[in-house]
Structure 1
Amino acid sequence: MSDALISSGADAPPVTPRRPTERTFHGDTFVDDYEWLRAKDDPEVVAHLEAQNAWTLRQQEHLAPLRQTLFDEIKGRTQETDLSVPSRDGDWWYYARTVEGKQYPIHARYPAAGPDDWTPRVLEPGVPVPGEQVLLDQNVEAEGHDFFALGSLDVTDDGTLLLYATDTAGDERYTLRVRDLATGEDLPDVVEQTAPGALFAPDGEHVFYLTLDEAWRPWRVWRHRLGTPGSDDVVVFEEPDERYWVGVGLSRSKKYLQIELGSKVTSESWLLEADDPTGEFRVVWPRREGVEYSVEHAVLPGASGPEDRLLILHNHDALDFELVSSPVPAPGGSVDPAAAEVVVPHDPAVRLEGVGASARYIVLHYRRAAISRSAVLQLPASGPVTWDFEELSFGRPLESVGAGVGTWEQPNLKVGYTSFVTPQSLYLHDVASGERTLLKQQPVLGGYDADDYDQRREWATAEDGTRVPISLVWRKDTVDLTDGSPAAPRPLLLYGYGAYEHSIDPYFSIGRLSLLDRGVVFAIAHVRGGGEMGRAWYDAGKLAAKRTTFTDFVACGRHLVDAGWTAADRLVADGGSAGGLLVGAAVNLAPELFAGVLAGVPFVDALTSMLDPSLPLTVTEWDEWGDPLHDPDVYATMRSYSPYENVPDDASHYPRILATTSFNDTRVLYVEPAKWVARLQAAGAPAMLKIEMSAGHGGVSGRYAAWEQIAFEHAWVLDVLGLADR
């Protein structure tokens, strides 16, 4: 249906009643006509959302054949019956497999052949695995539910019990259960309303799990003893500061239980000897505002034999982090940072991101020049350790390399590799020799040839002169680059995120191939607020500097137009969650630059959310966005860019907009895109809302349902770009 019909009133969108409420802070009054849509339990609100959904589907009826074609293409390129590469833990090799026609994975294992069996079998899709034991079939657990998600999965060290936690509403509150793997029966132990991340202690008798507060924040760690009533469960840690999220885990060595907590700018870790699960946790390094750190237990060769050490990655006086080695603090003590040995010093050109240790090697994760990288260090038989890491690279300019340490005893490591044109690949890397063996590459059915596609890095110039990287991928025969630049503008989908120091690294996508094969160029704007170029890059796009994220995105769009890659009538902006805020703010800044805007679960009513500390996640987010409730300068900054408040009275010149959301989303509440779309429609913008009534922040569950969602969005994008008949 044309924009003219939408805007002229023919089959117009449902009219959202205006019910003005005044919001006054710091002397500024904003009249909110649509805040009434927040009443989730109000039948009128539900009816209105369903009416918006129905209208959106009517507008897209002409795309039903294209949606089916896109779905069939994704399905046809995907090896539906498949298996992951097994990973060994204890006496078993663990893996997941999928079966054609089933929505969810099946988790299984087979027995290891012996103590020296460290090479995973090559498992053939559809061929029975000798000795297989099914641990959990998610398809069985999901029966009778519109939504299903798995939040925890763990097995005792002796391999006899399985812990699992499921969510059947999409609200990220999970029910925890324990299954006897010999009988297949669940034990009486059931814990409701847990957060993801529960695990067994090494003794197999105790379970540690998390619960959420009213703001959906993991804040308590509990200990449960199997066979005892839930009323006897013990709170072992509680974090009252609403800025901090709490997690619980086990060191790879299985020597320490770990509690980790962090705000956006500060973190803290606690340890407990795992063989004493009822003991008291002790702090590693007491929190200091603005200091972030993570802890990895390692056993390093020393002058008098193996030594327990903590590898601590931190940013105290080291903006892009440094790695230090410290003795494990004794009970009652903590790490003395001044006495720790610096093993990888701070380098402003390298952002250290993580470290993993096994009995034989250490892996360092970092990024340099906007590309993620990993390096490995083989531990010597005797000390001292020389901290010379060997970088793992495949020699391509746009690539993602990540090394997985695996279990403590594993003598080799797995290296994951992908690019925009290379399917996910997993290699076995012999640390001693450096030899790599390909274990598995993501199958792409239908004759995919990576040589048919190309990828490239370009740089836009931002308002302040900063160079902003852009990654592009396209099908070679659809773009003429004879003279080095595109000979004619192409349809282009520009994706952006730009928050939380999250980096969008090169990745392969089967679903994206349907766009590329129809002549669409896909691009990622690596704007400030993300982490691609280090901590300073992140800092330059948060808090008072947040507007930079949006102007960077606009600059990237304009660069792609000026460089001949696309034109304003052939450019669609795409972003989800915080990226939805990005594209919502960008369209307010430069509506003439885009033909369409695809906003997934968009954080477009950011100021309203950040003003209400009773809402989920608000207080924890103040370190990212600022606290507009108490700070008038922060209020003014957010008021200037929040997409909802800045929709003009006349938005008839806006591009076509599709916002997608989920009714049970606990991170970005459905009301944000619902209000935004209502205001856009009232201002004459061609905007529509698609809402899943049984889903959460990640959208629908199940792979076929996810493919249908991708097909819906991509069909809309192709329609906007004038390619719906391809």
Structure 2
Amino acid sequence: MSQDNFVPNITKPPVANKQPEELELHGDRRIDNYFWLRDDENPQVIAYLEAENTYTAAMMQHTRSLQTKLYQEMLARIKETDLSVPYRKDEYYYYIRTEEGKDYPIYCRKYGSLEAAEEVLLDENELAKGHEFFSLGVFEISPNHQILAYSVDTCGSEQYTLYFLDLNTRELAAETIPDTYFSVAWANDNQTIFYTTLDDANRPYQLLRHTLGTDVEDDVLIYEELDDIYHLYVDKTRSQAYIFMLLRSSITTEVHYLDANHPDGDWQLIHPRTTGMEYEVDHHSDYFYIVTNDEATNFKLVKTLVTAPSKENWQTVIPHQADVLLSGISLFANHLVIYERKGGLETARIRNLATGKESNITFPEPTYEFYEGSNPEFKTNILRFHYTSFITPQSVFDYNMETHERELQKETEVLGGYDRTQYQSEWLMATAEDGTKVPISIVYKRGIKKDSTNPLLLTGYGAYGSSYPATFSSNRLTLLDRGVIFAIAHIRGGEEMGRQWYEDGKFLQKKNTFTDFIACAEYLIQENWTASDRLIITGGSAGGLLMGAVVNLRPELFKAVVAHVPFVDIVTTILDTSLPLSAMEWEEWGNPNDPVYYEYMKSYSPYDNVEAKDYPDMLITAGLNDSRVKYWEPAKWTAKLRELKTDNNILLLKTNMGAGHSGASGRYESLRELAFEYAFILDRLGITE
């Protein structure tokens, strides 16, 4: 399509020339004036995005010194040369380190003891040279520790090329495999690897078997998934006994398994896909342990003999609990780790498999996050886990599953004299319009008074059953020390309060997500934590959809909005099955080919519901190479807002022309992007110091 008439003038925003395109579904005719922005091969589309970037830079020019100050302040808190806690696998100790001035981590190991000589396995900084963007996908070492399989993406599209490095000779194998996903598994012969490849929509859909030293053209296709709503993954048990092929949609799972000692053997099915039934499998001795929602909304744990894995043989180990979500398990030679979520917070139980006795892992803070760390060894009594909160920096613990003692291995150092006693966190409850209690995690500098004058940054996500973690960020201190309160709205659509919390925020109940967020904002205002003219909101991807929806519903409630790679053109995107994730999204949002879902989705789609009214100040970001949320969604949304909004508030679109969904890849450039965002927030609040 031919477009012109954008205006690259630093005093005026660029204007996207209207080129009406009529779309029709269920007799509903819609005119999309900005459909042409989808054509990234059109030089004028690129020119338009660059003009928007020029305008954004000009409008933020007065904050350049503030951006520099914020960047330097945040950088000064980071220990640039640092070392992860080594983890043991057989006779090797593996770890990652960083060096001052270098963007990317360096992967290393030592043999026999931590006092041994260091062996550098992979230096991302060397691989990233000459590339504006770099992302490491898989990093999997063969069972004999001699061959490293790793993959790289150098544009942000999440299409990875797989390489094989001989760790003895430091020579790369002749074969490379393009268009792979970050999912591989080694067989126990150290010569065979299973990997997944992508289709034209960036969906992992094929599982192949490769033998080292052979032509990739001769790789054996194990399975091809033709149903667009399923993604294919491959994994290996900690016991090293089995390889799993997982076929997963948003609501349905199917798992096949293979003896890892016989890579040429036949794959066996555990249970055929049954719509709405999910299950995950782990292995211990003669049994598969299966976490499933089969007749169990909050999931239950069953086990079955490896020789008889079908559902009729499943034996209940942990029954369904109405008030506790079974979020996962982890199996070791002598212990079963049971991960649960109750009252919005994660906990864990450790069960001795021989005696049945249990111990609990608990934490004292009102809101926090913890998760399992690197535990590659099966025959160990040590469980490594990570713990963090708004106030406690990332901490690595080793927990003795026999003695129940925990030992802190490392707490991430915050340079510059961080004093955790200067900050306070709380777990609050807002009331939604239907009476549902919605949790809020909040953190602030001690001494702040609830008098409505406080600036507050509120964020949320509320989709895919993803619970929003209350984690520490040394960068966030930059806001807290300037008096900005930070809060997370744990809205429906996530899984904080159990599986039903997720179910109540999807499909034809999706609007609960938006009204929950608004209720949290109203609560914070009513309780004098802040006021509308001091309240800024932020969210990314599906959280960007949240931003677009709530700003359409209640624009007067917010001072400013930061929307990262926002999924805002939901109806048009999900109808286009040539795009990544679109068909799979039918099981999250609904299938818009169904008139009922179409009308419901259209009624909240941010792009479709922009109106001629006042909107807050807005910063919108995009990634040109984003394969998850295409750049044109935030671009179209910005253009339509420019056309219709009736205010003089600032509206900025910032497109990273060399990255994808997650923005800049290097840690220093990522920090500069954050400094830009923080400068926008502080500038809108009138806080320059």
> Residue 303 of structure 2: which of 315, 325, 329 is its match?
325
Alignment of 1:72-91 (within 5 A): 72-91=72-91
Counterpart of 1:261 in structure 2: which amino acid?
Answer: L
SS of equivalent residue, structure 1 residue 284? strand
Equivalent-residue separation in structure 1 for 2:669 and 2:204 (angstroms): 29
2:384 aligned with 1:398: no
Equivalent-residue separation in structure 2 for 1:31 and 1:218 (angstroms): 34
For residue 10 of structure 1, report the CA deviation from its aligned partner.
8.1
- The 8 Å contact of residues 284 and 329 in structure 1, kept in 2 or not, is answered as no
- The 8 Å contact of residues 661 and 690 in structure 1, kept in 2 or not, is answered as yes
> Residue 471 of structure 2: which of 490, 502, 507 is its match?
507
Equivalent-residue separation in structure 2 for 1:241 and 1:151 (angstroms): 25
Counterpart of 1:314 in structure 2: which amino acid?
Answer: T
Which residue in 2 is equivalent to 1:13?
13
Q: How big is the alpha-carbon RMSD for the aligned residues of Structure 1 and Structure 2?
A: 1.3
For residue 714 of structure 1, report the CA deviation from its aligned partner.
0.9
Which residue in 1 is equivalent to 2:639?
678
SS of equivalent residue, structure 1 residue 717? helix
Which residue in 1 is equivalent to 2:621?
660
Which residue in 2 is equivalent to 1:27?
27
SS of equivalent residue, structure 2 residue 608? coil
- The 8 Å contact of residues 163 and 199 in structure 1, kept in 2 or not, is answered as no
> Residue 286 of structure 1: which of 256, 268, 272 is its match?
272
Equivalent-residue separation in structure 2 for 1:151 and 1:189 (angstroms): 17
Counterpart of 1:42 in structure 2: which amino acid?
Answer: N
For residue 348 of structure 1, report the CA deviation from its aligned partner.
1.0
For residue 197 of structure 1, report the CA deviation from its aligned partner.
1.6
> Residue 415 of structure 1: which of 365, 368, 385 is its match?
385
Counterpart of 1:662 in structure 2: which amino acid?
Answer: G
Which residue in 2 is equivalent to 1:344?
318
SS of equivalent residue, structure 1 residue 45? helix
Equivalent-residue separation in structure 2 for 1:490 and 1:351 (angstroms): 36
Counterpart of 2:633 in structure 1: which amino acid?
Answer: E
> Residue 335 of structure 1: which of 310, 323, 340 is its match?
310
2:328 aligned with 1:354: yes
Counterpart of 1:149 in structure 2: which amino acid?
Answer: S
Which residue in 1 is equivalent to 2:665?
701
- The 8 Å contact of residues 374 and 402 in structure 1, kept in 2 or not, is answered as no
For residue 90 of structure 1, report the CA deviation from its aligned partner.
2.1
For residue 30 of structure 1, report the CA deviation from its aligned partner.
1.3
For residue 215 of structure 1, report the CA deviation from its aligned partner.
1.6
Which residue in 2 is equivalent to 1:126?
none
- The 8 Å contact of residues 149 and 167 in structure 1, kept in 2 or not, is answered as yes
Segments of 4+ in structure 1 off by > 4 A?
none
Counterpart of 1:326 in structure 2: which amino acid?
Answer: T
Equivalent-residue separation in structure 2 for 1:407 and 1:28 (angstroms): 58
| Unmatched segments (≥5 aa) in structure 1 | 1-8, 114-120, 122-128, 300-307, 481-485
TM-score, normalization by structure 2: 0.97
Equivalent-residue separation in structure 2 for 1:569 and 1:41 (angstroms): 41
Equivalent-residue separation in structure 2 for 1:593 and 1:343 (angstroms): 48
Equivalent-residue separation in structure 2 for 1:52 and 1:42 (angstroms): 16
Equivalent-residue separation in structure 1 for 2:487 and 2:678 (angstroms): 15
Alignment of 1:486-635 (within 5 A): 486-629=450-593, 631-635=594-598
Equivalent-residue separation in structure 2 for 1:662 and 1:403 (angstroms): 31
Give the direction of change, closer, same or farther, for the CA distance of 1:416–1:10 in structure 2 (3 Å limit).
closer
Equivalent-residue separation in structure 2 for 1:454 and 1:389 (angstroms): 32
Which residue in 1 is equivalent to 2:159?
173
- The 8 Å contact of residues 644 and 676 in structure 1, kept in 2 or not, is answered as yes
2:55 aligned with 1:69: no
CA offsets per residue over residues 4-41 of structure 1, 9 Å max, x none?
xxxxx981101110111111111211111001000011
Which residue in 2 is equivalent to 1:117?
none
Equivalent-residue separation in structure 2 for 1:389 and 1:42 (angstroms): 62
Give the direction of change, closer, same or farther, for the CA distance of 1:375–1:112 in structure 2 (3 Å limit).
farther
Which residue in 1 is equivalent to 2:348?
374
Which residue in 2 is equivalent to 1:59?
59
Which residue in 1 is equivalent to 2:3?
none
Counterpart of 2:674 in structure 1: which amino acid?
Answer: I
Which residue in 2 is equivalent to 1:190?
176
- The 8 Å contact of residues 220 and 238 in structure 1, kept in 2 or not, is answered as yes
Counterpart of 2:244 in structure 1: which amino acid?
Answer: Q
For residue 409 of structure 1, report the CA deviation from its aligned partner.
2.0
Which residue in 2 is equivalent to 1:315?
293
- The 8 Å contact of residues 359 and 404 in structure 2, kept in 1 or not, is answered as no
For residue 410 of structure 1, report the CA deviation from its aligned partner.
2.5
For residue 390 of structure 1, report the CA deviation from its aligned partner.
2.1
CA offsets per residue over residues 457-507 of structure 1, 9 Å max, x none?
111111111111111000113x12xxxxx1343100000100000001220
Equivalent-residue separation in structure 1 for 2:636 and 2:268 (angstroms): 46
CA offsets per residue over residues 246-284 of structure 1, 9 Å max, x none?
100111000001111111110011110000011111111
Equivalent-residue separation in structure 2 for 1:341 and 1:227 (angstroms): 44
CA offsets per residue over residues 100-124 of structure 1, 9 Å max, x none?
00000000000124xxxxxxx5xxx
CA offsets per residue over residues 319-369 of structure 1, 9 Å max, x none?
000001111135xxx423x43221111101111111111112111112111
Equivalent-residue separation in structure 1 for 2:477 and 2:334 (angstroms): 40
CA offsets per residue over residues 112-149 of structure 1, 9 Å max, x none?
24xxxxxxx5xxxxxxx641100000000000000000
TM-score, normalization by structure 1: 0.92
- The 8 Å contact of residues 98 and 106 in structure 1, kept in 2 or not, is answered as yes
For residue 200 of structure 1, report the CA deviation from its aligned partner.
2.2
Which residue in 2 is equivalent to 1:159?
145
Which residue in 2 is equivalent to 1:304?
none
- The 8 Å contact of residues 381 and 402 in structure 2, kept in 1 or not, is answered as no
Counterpart of 1:209 in structure 2: which amino acid?
Answer: Y
Equivalent-residue separation in structure 1 for 2:204 and 2:576 (angstroms): 19
> Residue 710 of structure 1: which of 659, 663, 674 is its match?
674
2:610 aligned with 1:647: yes
- The 8 Å contact of residues 371 and 505 in structure 1, kept in 2 or not, is answered as no
- The 8 Å contact of residues 265 and 289 in structure 1, kept in 2 or not, is answered as yes
Equivalent-residue separation in structure 2 for 1:130 and 1:517 (angstroms): 43
Which residue in 2 is equivalent to 1:3?
none
> Residue 259 of structure 2: which of 273, 277, 281 is its match?
273
Which residue in 1 is equivalent to 2:232?
246
CA offsets per residue over residues 682-713 of structure 1, 9 Å max, x none?
12353210000110111110110111111111
Report the more deviating stretch, 66-75 or 561-570: 66-75
Equivalent-residue separation in structure 2 for 1:54 and 1:389 (angstroms): 60
Which residue in 2 is equivalent to 1:4?
none
CA offsets per residue over residues 69-117 of structure 1, 9 Å max, x none?
111111100000001111111221111000000000000000124xxxx
2:206 aligned with 1:220: yes
| Unmatched segments (≥5 aa) in structure 2 | 1-8
Equivalent-residue separation in structure 2 for 1:604 and 1:722 (angstroms): 29
CA offsets per residue over residues 592-613 of structure 1, 9 Å max, x none?
0000010000001111101212
- The 8 Å contact of residues 328 and 335 in structure 1, kept in 2 or not, is answered as no
SS of equivalent residue, structure 2 residue 377? coil
Which residue in 2 is equivalent to 1:125?
none
SS of equivalent residue, structure 2 residue 451? coil
> Residue 435 of structure 2: which of 454, 465, 484 is its match?
465
Counterpart of 2:425 in structure 1: which amino acid?
Answer: Q
Alignment of 1:93-112 (within 5 A): 93-112=93-112
Equivalent-residue separation in structure 1 for 2:376 and 2:224 (angstroms): 30
Equivalent-residue separation in structure 1 for 2:238 and 2:301 (angstroms): 18
Counterpart of 1:714 in structure 2: which amino acid?
Answer: Y
- The 8 Å contact of residues 205 and 231 in structure 2, kept in 1 or not, is answered as yes
CA offsets per residue over residues 607-656 of structure 1, 9 Å max, x none?
11012122221101100010002x001010011000001000x23x2100
Equivalent-residue separation in structure 2 for 1:620 and 1:688 (angstroms): 31
Alignment of 1:444-463 (within 5 A): 444-463=414-433
